[in-house]
Amino acid sequence: MTLARARLPQGHGISKAIYKDALRRGRFEPEQHGLREASAAAWRTHFRLVLPEVVRVVSEDSETGTTAKAVLRLADGLECECVLLPMGRGRSTLCVSSQIGCKMGCKFCETGRMGLLRHMTTAEIVSELLVARNVLGWEFRNVVFMGMGEALDNADAVLPALRVLTDPMGLGMSQERITICTVGHLEGIQRLQSLGMKRLNLSISLNAGNDALRASLMPINKRAPLARLQEVLGGHRPRANFVLGVNYCLMPEINDRDEHAHEIAEFCRPLGRVMVNVIPYNPGTAPLTRAPTDAEIEHFVELLREEGLPVRLRITKGRTVMAACGQLGNVDLRRPRLPIARN
Ligand code: SF4
């Protein structure tokens, strides 16, 4: 919210309380703050809290809890998706979108097949959290920018959203609870550094440790080859105990051989502390390959460990309801490239 001071007869002094109420409770009720009727009406004239409409929620139960995907309709009719992921011990993470579609074109990703329809605005990004918490009643501890879109391709909106999420007067999240995931958007990583949020988490989507394979899976690698990515990531040490997340979508018969594990280790070696997150491939509507078997996953995790890498296996969640990693988006919305709307 921005304040139009001259136009408000009364109530400037409680603007912080109104703002906090809007972000924490998803409610804009100026009259609840002791304002006279005319002042409350003036507030309502100048400010609105418009949340996306929940189109549908689909969910899948598992041993770790319920994975739920919400499809949200934005003011212009386009839809974004956010996902509640159970992380065990009763904790959950909210995976949010930052773009409608995505222009990065990663071959293993449903969103990439849509192309970029438009960037989401800061308000739309923040509103995903408000809807999740206040409309759907979801409880989550962490937020990860790993839904639809490449977050750092929309840094103009995502970076201010990080400010709102961490603003003590707003959502008041601690930086440690937020992770930005990127395919390796070099300029975006540098902009993130300049933000000075030292406790924010960063993870990259690697998926191959050699340029030829990575470029065939992820077109960004042609612009930002591994050596350059390594160089930029090497300069990203926001704090002494920073651990870079390295996400690896395991695709059988594509990137699961012994030498692939070795190449990942070579890529990670100069980067300081890393955590390799192995994410089993989730087939979408036009699968690149099948999902890996448990034996294949275990074998590859073991290969990585033999290379001396710390590894975490991401248990597949939400695959049956197209809520898993790489499955978000509605390719029916795909359309010829339009001018990109910035907020
Ligand atoms: S993986 Fe991420 S960056 Fe790549 S196409 Fe999908 S949404 Fe875009």
Query: DSSP characters for 6-46?
Result: GG-SS-GGGHHHHHHHHHHHS---GGGGT--HHHHHHHHHH
Alpha carbons 261 and 157: distance in angstroms, whole number: 35
User: Is 325 one of the annotated active-site residues of the chain?
Assistant: yes
Residue 3: per-residue pLDDT: 42
Least Cα distance to 61 among 327, 318, 326 occurs for 318
CA of 4 to the centre of ligand 1 (A): 39
Place of tokens 């192995």: 278
Which atom number of ligand 1 is nearest to the Cα of residue 181?
Answer: 2
- Is there an atom of ligand 1 within 6 Å of 97 CB? no
Which atom number of ligand 1 is nearest to the Cα of residue 218?
Answer: 4
Q: With beta carbons less than 8 A apart as the criterion, state whether 292 and 278 touch.
A: no
The lowest-confidence range among 36-45, 109-118, 126-135, 156-165 is 36-45
Confidence of residue 337 (pLDDT cuts 50, 70, 90): very low
Four-point Cα dihedral 203, 205, 207, 208, nearest 10:
-80
Among residues 80, 181, 268, 325, the one annotated as catalytic is 325
- Is there an atom of ligand 1 within 6 Å of 30 CB? no
Alpha carbons 320 and 267: distance in angstroms, whole number: 33
- Is there an atom of ligand 1 within 6 Å of 111 CB? yes
CA of 128 to the centre of ligand 1 (A): 19
For 79-127, the pLDDT digits (tens) are 999 999 999 888 999 999 999 999 999 999 988 888 999 999 999 999 9
The burial class, CB within 10 Å (0-12 / 13-18 / 19+), for 176 is: exposed
Residues contacting 258, CB < 8 A, separation 6+: 303
C-alpha atoms less than 13 angstroms from C-alpha of 118 in its C-beta half-sphere: 17
User: Is residue 4 predicted with pLDDT exceeding 80?
Assistant: no
- Is there an atom of ligand 1 within 6 Å of 318 CB? no
Residue 38: per-residue pLDDT: 85
- Is there an atom of ligand 1 within 6 Å of 102 CB? yes
Q: With beta carbons less than 8 A apart as the criterion, state whether 94 and 82 touch.
A: yes
User: Is residue 342 predicted with pLDDT exceeding 70?
Assistant: no
User: Is residue 13 predicted with pLDDT exceeding 80?
Assistant: no
Residues contacting 145, CB < 8 A, separation 6+: 95, 96, 98, 151, 158, 178, 179, 180, 181
Confidence of residue 339 (pLDDT cuts 50, 70, 90): very low
Alpha carbons 33 and 16: distance in angstroms, whole number: 11
Confidence of residue 343 (pLDDT cuts 50, 70, 90): very low
Residue 1: per-residue pLDDT: 42
- The residue that leads in pLDDT, 70 or 284, is 70
pTM for the whole structure: 0.90
Q: Take atom 7 of ligand 1 and give the residue whose Cα is closest.
A: 149
For 225-265, the pLDDT digits (tens) are 999 999 999 999 999 999 999 999 999 999 999 999 999 99
- Is there an atom of ligand 1 within 6 Å of 100 CB? no
CA angle 313, 252, 287 (to 5 degrees): 105
For 255-304, the pLDDT digits (tens) are 999 999 999 999 999 999 999 999 999 888 888 899 999 999 999 999 99
The whole-chain average pLDDT of the chain stands at 90
Residue 251: per-residue pLDDT: 96
User: Is residue 200 predicted with pLDDT exceeding 50?
Assistant: yes
Residues in the chain: 343
- The residue that leads in pLDDT, 167 or 319, is 167
Residues contacting 300, CB < 8 A, separation 6+: 250, 256, 261, 278, 292
C-alpha atoms less than 13 angstroms from C-alpha of 287 in its C-beta half-sphere: 12
Residue 156: per-residue pLDDT: 97
Reduced to 3 states (helix: H, G, I; strand: E, B; else coil), residue 143 is strand
Written as one letter, the residue type at 224 is A
Phi, psi of 256 (to 5 degrees): -120, 20
